[in-house]
Structure 1
């Protein structure tokens, strides 16, 4: 009997070790290696912005079934401190990057400036303070429109669709408001957990940072980068997440809130190999400002506003002035503590009449569920695909 028990235990432990080894390999693999391992084509492109940043944009040009006659381009824009990894974190059939490619779309996944995959610049390195002198103002003014222009040049298409998560939507609103003619290049926007103002945000981490002016204190101490990719501790972090999945999830939830939808916990070590991807401290400071000021506005330079904007306070992003030729779809969660239902409703009320084609409140969804939950494919992504067939 003892030998039978020992044999069973040995088999169970062996299976777990094999699973951990597979997951650890993905945690240490590049995004290109992960996507290719599932049989998908993958390309890495470098997009030069007009202010000198070099963005890494990953592309899945088509799905496992091969190229179709008309692979229409779609740009996926990640949220704060995230990366293109978020779209291929889940396995094929569940990750939006794979799903759209299998539906015949040409999938492009941006990495905004300053995350772990976009640390290039024509003049500066990521060790220079000037490199980190950006906030979400610049993501919308340069990163999104420059990437769309690159995609249209590469593909010959006249329009591109956008799927954004969280800050990825903020960048889109800014592009529509500040870049002339940008709306003529975009056929459709699916906004997952859309954000503009964050007045009613209930995330303790962001609330403490804003209320205690932690952002300003860190800037005063000379910090420039927020949550850099900790490559020196990556192996230890992967092991830690493998041994204590709940502990690993708790660390992520502190920043983005809890996940309520069904979640593949075995992927936690993979998350640890790629998340968080980081951003600038100035970007975090900008979020703290709009939380304190209760306005979706440009970066507040204080006494230097007059020099920057020729007025004493930063200009407000007036969403009532969004172009009226947009086709927008909003997907937001009842349990989202970052993009709260109250703030989303404020955003909706500001939109020009007729631009919001679809609005869906998901009862149990929190912020990260829109990109990582296992049932997002049926609850959300299937709706996006239906709308793409109409508007793209």
Structure 2
């Protein structure tokens, strides 16, 4: 009886959300991949700032076509030696544009290019700057049947393989938020980690059971992910016209958007709130409901594991009752790692970061910034002096390897 009441409440809540997101009448709302329409990320955001930018496509083993952008500096007189390739991995509801949101002297993508790095910008499946699938349409439910697990095991592998084929070099990785979940899971796989020279992880996440984000915890406790599943939704699209207009209206003097952001990410010390309109031109990108459910599973269960299908399907999928954990102790001790995390990060909590560090065989270089929230590591106006300079110094201290 109790379970049926809970199910009814979940469905009622989902229906109200459905009206809010304006998705019920047509099922999953589809965002067209605009790569072929408007010239892609290079033409829209990177090239206009004076940087050389070329579009590439990498194909995953399960058929997804991922956009990659290769960026080099417009500054010709830095006098620095060209550094190895570095792959940038964005966070949840973001795309490769996240690394270029501020001015060239504040955005990490531009900064790395100016320091001579061969910058490659990753865009995971489902995002605007990726190119769909070899056979599936984004209107098919199968197109959205994935979580960060597939991004780690397929997307990251495809990106690294492609970059390696073009450069004959191992790759530096920079991940933020979801990009660090992908990286840490992928590094437990020998065939993937062998293509990596070193990794820098911003707001590193593997365990999530100590997050303090009020809004996220409320959604977890309300079983939003289950409610969306009951409605048969597969794509999680936060950029419908109605929602965008509501956010724009709410932020026009009716709602303090920095407080709204803080309720999700923690208080960000150095986020440039005057550029919210610019950020909203590109963000958020779509993701899958399954990805949200996987993340919520991690919060509820306190595990860093593969997707939990339930007991019976786990037996079929994994040959065991519970999904296998990603064993962080399998990450090679020889892999150089650098991590930066913040005291105000409500998603990458200090306790969870310490949990991750204890499970690693290696001892990463760790930079702790007491006043930084989750978004500061990407969009802080002080990021260059606070952390990017330190990261670049770490990369330059690592040896470089070529791959056969």
TM-score (norm 2): 0.83
Aligned to 1:365: 372
Superposed CA deviations along residues 254-291 of structure 1, whole A, max 9, x for unmatched, are 44343222x33331111111111121010000011011
> Is the contact made by 2:265 and 2:345 (CA closer than 8 Å) also made in structure 1?
no
Q: d(CA) in 1 for partners of 2:288 and 2:105?
A: 33
SS of residue paired to 2:219 = helix
Q: d(CA) in 2 for partners of 1:225 and 1:306?
A: 26
> Is the contact made by 1:245 and 1:265 (CA closer than 8 Å) also made in structure 2?
no
- The CA deviation at 1:242 is 8.1
SS of residue paired to 1:42 = strand
> Is the contact made by 2:329 and 2:359 (CA closer than 8 Å) also made in structure 1?
yes
* Residues 37-48 of structure 1: pairs in structure 2 closer than 5 A: 37-48=48-59
Choose which of 235, 240, 263 in structure 2 pairs with 1:225: 235
Aligned to 1:204: 214
User: Do the aligned partners of residues 125 and 295 (structure 1) sit closer, same or farther apart at CA in structure 2, a change above 3 Å counting?
Assistant: same
Aligned length: 359
Q: Which moved more, 1:61-70 or 1:121-130?
A: 61-70
RMSD, aligned CA: 2.3
* Residues 110-129 of structure 1: pairs in structure 2 closer than 5 A: 110-118=122-130, 120-129=132-141
Unpaired runs of at least 5, structure 1 = 1-27
Aligned to 1:149: 161
Aligned to 2:389: 382
- The CA deviation at 1:315 is 0.5
> Is the contact made by 1:241 and 1:272 (CA closer than 8 Å) also made in structure 2?
no
Aligned to 1:5: none
Superposed CA deviations along residues 132-189 of structure 1, whole A, max 9, x for unmatched, are 0000110110111110110111223x211000001101111121213x3322211110
- The CA deviation at 1:243 is 4.3
Superposed CA deviations along residues 278-321 of structure 1, whole A, max 9, x for unmatched, are 21010000011011111111100002000000001100111112
Q: Does 1:270 align with 2:290?
A: no
Choose which of 74, 95, 108 in structure 1 pairs with 2:86: 74
- The CA deviation at 1:123 is 1.4
Aligned to 2:200: 190
Choose which of 294, 313, 317 in structure 2 pairs with 1:308: 317
- The CA deviation at 1:241 is 8.2
